[in-house]
Amino acid sequence: MAAYGLYTHIQSNKFRSMLLLAGLFLLVYVIVYAGALIIEVANNAGGPVDYYLRVALSDVIHTLPFSTGAAALWIVIAYFFHQNIIDAVTGGQDVTRQQEPRLYNLLENLCISRGIPMPKLKIVESDALNAYATGLNQRQYSVTVTRGLLDALNDQEIESVLGHELTHIRNGDVQMMVIAVIIAGVVGFFAELLFRGFFNFGGYGGWGSGGGWSSSSSSSSSSSSSEGGSSDRKSSGGGAIFVIIIAVALIALAWLLSQLVRLALSRSRELLADAGSVELTKNPDAMISALRKIEGRGELPGATSAVMELCLDNPREGFSDLFATHPSVESRVQALVKYAGGHDPGPLALPAPNDQPDAPEQGQQTNQVPPPVPAGPWGANPDGAPQGGPQTGPQTGPQTSPWADPAGPWGRR
């Protein structure tokens, strides 16, 4: 029943993800509608509010093929080049069995045990402790780990991390996350484009003094002698300003919803991937200890927020945790303890790299005294040192052999 419930939840989550992605596409059209409102106000600043709303909707319908085509082109470009972009940001490099036999064998054993095709293997030369999976189809799938993760985790913990990433691939999480990041990028791109165009237009005489509404309003006021006409023009200008406010609010709302939807796609999937790793390895304690070692040490230098959303851990603290893409390590560990029967060792500290003293170079003198050697049956150590402790100074006399004439209880013979 547990496996049935898990797989049912995975299928349900995939269906909800598809709905969320469809919602992200609708956000693109919301951005286009907001842009149409701004353009109509710029072309005709004297219309009423309902006129702007009606004409902007007509513009969206007429430009629907172009906006859809632009979003699709963005997705096509990301489909073929997203892995290159991610590798350029993180510095991921392909590795072979000869280069990393330990890591390669662990991943291969997991894939063979479950009949999963072997993804590509990459390593990021970073001291951070993290891993992520990427790809949109079978030929593109890859699992990337950091050098710091390999150095800090034992084989069982690394195997649990690899199982986590393989579960993302097996459940289709990787495709959904990459697509969500792509479409959210489209929304962010159009939103920034409209904001820049809006402020640039205002700065060069659209909305400020000396141009646009100000100049037309002043000239209309000076040429007008009727009080009723002046009030009509004021109401028209107020309607245009109101429409601009609506457009800016729509752009901000679309951008915010795209970010929140993208975050919602990730939070539940991390819990499912942890459970899937336990299912693959049958070792919940290894997954828990891996999470405890990675906790707070996963920030990849130079990685963007979009890349960090794909990682095993995306550390966030304080107010930024409100927009975190991953549940906290504490909640993930508690879920594994509750539902998988694991044991939580608590936060773990990694051993410092300088804990072990360096071995002295050959020929180098040290001040450390070696431990005493037990005395032999004739009262002297095998190396000739007197009984009771090591010889700390240089020997001035000839060394005696245990077969020499030793001093007995009545003196030397």
> How does DSSP assign 383-403, residue by residue?
TSPBTTS---S---SPPPPTT
For 181-229, how does the pLDDT look when each residue is reduced to its tens digit (9 = 90+)?
Answer: 766 666 776 676 776 766 665 544 444 444 444 444 444 444 444 444 4
Q: Round to whole Å and give the CA distance between 389 and 256.
A: 76
pLDDT at 174: 83
The whole-model pTM stands at 0.66
pLDDT at 321: 53
Judged by DSSP in three states, 93 sits in strand
Q: Round to whole Å and give the CA distance between 216 and 230.
A: 12
Judged by DSSP in three states, 164 sits in helix
Strand residue runs (E) in 316-411:
none
* Residue 79: exposure state from Cβ atoms within 10 A (0-12, 13-18, ≥19): middle
Q: Round to whole Å and give the CA distance between 269 and 125.
A: 27
Q: Which residues, including other chains, have CB under 8 Å from residue 111's CB and lie 6 or more apart? A: 117, 118, 119, 166
Q: Report, as residue numbers or ranges, the catalytic residues.
A: 165
pLDDT at 131: 95
pLDDT at 118: 93
Q: Round to whole Å and give the CA distance between 5 and 246.
A: 45
For 127-180, how does the pLDDT look when each residue is reduced to its tens digit (9 = 90+)?
Answer: 999 999 998 888 889 999 999 999 999 999 999 999 999 998 888 788 777 777
pLDDT at 307: 80
User: Which residues of the chain fall short of a pLDDT of 50?
Assistant: 1-4, 203-231, 233-234, 318-320, 355-370, 372-376, 379-404, 409, 413
